[in-house]
Chains A and B, each alone.
Chain A
Amino acid sequence: MASTIVDIRQKSTRLRPAIPLTATLRAEWTKLMTVRSTYVLLALSLLLSVAVTALVSWAAGWSWSEWAEADRAAFDPVINSFVGLLLATVLLVALSVGFVTSEYTSGMVRLTLTTTPRRGRVLLAKAGVIAAVTMVAGVIITVATFLTGQAVFAAYDVPTASLGDRDAALAVLATGLTTAVYPVIGVAIGYLLRRTAAAITVTLLLMFAPAFFGPLLPLRWQERVLAYLPGPATDSLAFGHLATDAPMYLERGIAAVVVAAWLVALLGAAYLVLNRRDV
């Protein structure tokens, strides 16, 4: 109580140092790590992606003897152990979108923005915290699904890959790190739309639509348009070197630029809207 009794007149005229960006990052980190849903979604991402990978790998192994020679030759044990990661990405998008939109639902966004009125910082800090958490989670989950897949393949005499192989290790690491791309896009879309369901839907459409509808389009479209959408570009960045003849393949350097451009464009749009809009 005594602490509040100070000379207020002296206090108000004192020059205060500006608050550093690290303060905003620390606050957003605390917010993310003090709600149960964060842990639930992270745990589910790991469990479900490992389970789905195990199931799909088992199905491949079980039917392996009936596969055509050409299909066997085209089988890639690395990429095929990543199937379960789709689920992890969906759950991590739900985590990142909710991290933003739940503040609008509860109204707490007004406290966030009075505490940190430089709104770009809040956006940057939320995106940064989500990127860090989903990169670490992504690498752990990717390694887990990779090892699960290889273990199942080995049990059925299906060809396997090992982390000792440079291309395979690079694919696992890059896939793990690029797991963060959609969650960060989710932060931007969360601020643009402010509604949980709408933002998750739009983010997932952006993610899945090219994969679903792409193969229905002429090859030229796939090469010239779809390859530059965030999903295919992220895939090229993560494991494109394993399948350079795929229609939506981009070279790693180009893919990195395309992914970065998408992130900058979406976060930039979110910044402009957030900065101008009444809360």
Chain B
Amino acid sequence: MISARGLTKRYGDKIAVESLTFDVKPGVVTGFLGPNGAGKSTTMRLILGLDAPTAGSVTVNGRAYRDLPAPIQEVGALLDAGAVQRGRSARQHLRWVAQASGIPVRRVDEVLDLVGLSDVAEKRIGTFSLGMLQRLGIATALLGDPPVLMFDEPVNGLDPEGIAWFRNLVKRLAAEERTILISSHLMSEMQEIADRVLVIGRGRLIADASIDDLVRQTGGDAVRVVSPRAAEFVPILEAAGASVMPEQDGSLLVTGIEIADIGALAARHGITLHELSPRRASLEEAFMAITRSSVEYQAKRSRSTAVAIAGREERIDG
């Protein structure tokens, strides 16, 4: 369990994170979401005792990280997979980490096997691809077999096969009742693997909820309607109190009305339907909705910073 209480970090007069209070609950996968620069990595550095908080505190299993007797056997972390010296082999690299933590050196081959790097264990890290570096970082996090795991942008640089592999790994780790915190700016990725999400923007906590709650809070589910007479159908739906969004492919995204009522309306007006399907709102949309409201809140205070955030969101969209 990771607990932050009023966690604040300023670098000079720049606020990186402000008054973060949250618990990362054991046995579930928590997604840590936010645009680039929102403070996710800073929060992780604070959890690991690399940076000292300006105010507030954060503990892991009830203790400050620096006070853990065997830290990487309590918390395994992947921060930046590229931050390794390139001259060693993967096995040599993991060997020093194991030795520093009092972990038996035979565990090194186990984790190399676990991440699929056994064949290149003797190769210099300098020859590794981005995806292999990422796997090495994950192996390092798993070395101490810790009950708490933290991954900062873990699927960066992984190919689709690697992403599927990571997803399975996280599911397996979660099934072992570990506490898992995964940061990402890829909302779709979180929807696949996380049970809960913490959302931060501009260093502040915007949401702390289960994925289902978050989706429901921010507009809920919609119904996709495809009809050759869509243009005629729109006013009928709107008259029945629904709101309709035409999509680019000519389909309609209808909210505010039950799916059965849409079918009944179509039948009553003799409108042919080619498709009538429920569409679960994605975490992506939920995320955009809540960060947009945080932007609006910011806009009241300062127009220029709101523009900066909007710019950041656009980059994430693209």
Which residues of A pack against B, CB within 8 Å?
1, 3-6, 8-9, 11-12, 16-20, 23-24, 26-28, 30-31, 34-37, 102-103, 106-108, 110-118, 276, 278-279
Contact = CB atoms under 8 A, between A and B. Distances in A.
Given A6-B176, A108-B85, 13 more contacts: A1-B113, A3-B145, A8-B147, A9-B147, A12-B74, A12-B147, A19-B69, A24-B100, A27-B97, A102-B85, A107-B83, A114-B77, A278-B52
A117 B83 contact: no
Query: Main SS of the interface on chain B?
Result: loop
Contacts of A102: 85
Interface stretch (B87-95, B196-204, B233-241, B287-295): B87-95
Contacts of A31: 96
A6 B92 CA distance: 26
Contacts of B151: none
Contacts of B96: 27-28, 30-31, 34
B275 interface: no
B309 interface: no
Nearest to B83: A107
A70 to B, nearest CB: 53
A30 B99 contact: yes
Interface stretch (B60-68, B210-218, B257-265): B60-68
Interface residues of B, number: 48
Contacts of B113: 1
B177 to A, nearest CB: 5
B71 interface: yes
B23 to A, nearest CB: 15
A115 B72 contact: yes
A35 B100 contact: no
A106 B73 contact: no
Interface of B: 45, 48-52, 61, 65-66, 68-74, 77, 79-80, 82-89, 92, 95-97, 99-102, 107, 110, 113-114, 140, 142, 145, 147-148, 173, 176-178
B65 A117 contact: yes
B85 A35 contact: yes
Contact of B92 (A34, A117, A278, A279): A34
A17 B69 contact: yes
Given A4-B114, A35-B88, A118 B66 contact: yes
Given A8-B177, A35-B88, A111 B69 contact: no
B240 to A, nearest CB: 52
B102 A110 contact: no
Contacts of B79: 110
A18 B66 CA distance: 12
A179 to B, nearest CB: 25
A19 B70 contact: yes
A117 B71 contact: yes
A24 B72 CA distance: 14
Contacts of B74: 12, 16
Contacts of B65: 114, 117
Contacts of B50: 110, 113-114, 278-279
17 contacts: A4-B142, A4-B176, A8-B177, A9-B147, A12-B147, A16-B70, A17-B69, A19-B69, A23-B102, A28-B96, A34-B89, A35-B87, A110-B45, A110-B48, A111-B83, A114-B50, A115-B72
A27 B71 CA distance: 15
Nearest to B140: A111
Nearest to B75: A114
A58 to B, nearest CB: 37
